[in-house]
Amino acid sequence: MSRTLPVQKNEYIDVVFEDLTHDGAGVAKVEGYPLFVPGALPGEKGQIKVIKVNKGYGIGRLIEIHEKSFYRVDVARSESHKYGGCQLQHMNYEGQLKYKQNQVEQVLKRIGKLENVKVHPILGMENPWHYRNKAQVPVGERNGELIAGFFKPRSHEIVDTNESLIHTPEINEAVNVVKETCRKFGIQAYNEENHTGVLRHIMARYGMKTGELMVVIITRTRELPHKNEIIEKILERLPQIKSIVHNVNFKRTNVIMGDQTTVLWGNEVIYDYIGDVKFAISALSFYQVNPVQTKVLYDKALEYAGLTGEEKVIDAYCGIGTISLFLAQKAKRVFGVEVVPEAIDDARRNAELNGITNAEFAVGEAEIVIPKWYKEGNTADILVVDPPRKGCDEALLNTIIEMKPKKVVYVSCNPATLARDLRILEDGGYRTVEVQPVDMFPSTSHVECCALIKLIE
């Protein structure tokens, strides 16, 4: 006989919030039944409306707060609190860091069964605002007027936004200039339901060290109406701009960028630095959106690698070579692997740009290429992994265990899969020495980590 749930859909109830989920929702329990409520904080009391019930958990909407958390802050000063990317903007920075620290410590114990691993205090930002160097803003229409902003949580409704507190002022200005210019010339917004209209997204990229700016106008149509007039107005209002790019995406898809990219004015790339390493950034390049904290994270990876100039290093999931090029400054030789061919092209270009000759890059899946290298007798003293959120592939972990590099430096964007993979490596003869959390994305629920793992000799 199935158990009757203690709450019903559309019911209004008073609850006490005990915890936060990994994606920043408040957790309340009714007779042991968990309810996840975005916007609520631990220690708060309030009224919720139950909007969804499943066998194991329910979803609620926060209606009223009766008792506020010490960590709650007012976010009404910006429209950006209404969109889905900033799950923790209603929590002060002290509270955010405490939550992220606790998240890392708890998953290491619960998932990784790692009770005695040293987790250092999280490295936060001195100024946790205006840190993102890239925006990709969807475009729509309201009352016949072009708008651009961000999607409301769990919807495709666009909130027209002129300022985001997590993007740099230069990014905010660039997006607004393109929006206002396209509005002035009557450019029609893309309609995803009918697959009609012109303008789909506005992208802006900014080099924090160089001050260089790129805008990318993404359309459904191969032609951008009033192209020359739009370019002229953008140049007039954004004198620091180095590149104006047109990308065409005529497919019915949620993917932002299409296959056809044309430089309308200026350069194909802008440049930026992470530490002393220079990077060329095109419209399609993957590049870390918070270079300030990226340097903090990579400095820690370099410290954990402990390079003397004699080591051979393999960098799995190397992307455009950011970690590889950091390591190459101290290592004898670095070999990077990445599945995206365009990223490897960027990695090779960035190595040449910096005069780095001891880094090689290969296209392919890490879990296929590295075992192949191992079978051919190519091993490494140190192996660095920076996998996607799903963590390392089992085949790669098994190869690491067989290859027996003295150290593994694991850079992670998901503490849960990090904990799972550390458990596998520990069972395979390694010891997790320490873990350093780094806050790369303030106001969101995401936390990065760098872990040092050593072979038990």
Report the run of H or E that residue 398 belongs to, with start and end: helix 394-403
- Enumerate residues 6+ apart whose C-beta is below 8 A from 168: 130, 131, 132, 133, 206, 208
Task: Give the span between the Cα atoms of 273 and 281, in whole angstroms.
Answer: 10
For the sheet with 333-338, list strands across it: 118-119, 430-438, 448-455, 407-412, 382-385, 312-316, 333-338, 359-363
Task: Give the span between the Cα atoms of 447 and 97, in whole angstroms.
Answer: 9
The conformational region for residue 290 under phi > 0 = left, psi -120 to 50 = alpha, else beta, is: beta
Phi, psi of 255 (to 5 degrees): -65, 135
Torsion 309-313-108-398 (CA) sign: negative
- Enumerate residues 6+ apart whose C-beta is below 8 A from 323: 298, 301, 315, 384, 386, 411
Tell me the three state secondary structure of residue 82: helix
Query: Token digits for 340?
Result: 């995206």
Query: Token digits for 391?
Result: 């963590």
Do residues 234 and 241 touch, judged by C-beta distance below 8 A? yes
For strands 213-219 and 241-248, give the pairing. parallel
Nearest to 51 by CA among 59, 63, 62: 59
Choosing from 86, 318, 413, 450, the catalytic residue is 413
**Active site annotation includes 413:** yes
First to last CA, the chain: 54
The residue type at 20: L
Strands (E), 21-124: 26-30, 33-37, 45-53, 58-67, 118-119
Tell me the three state secondary structure of residue 294: helix
Which residues are identified as catalytic?
413
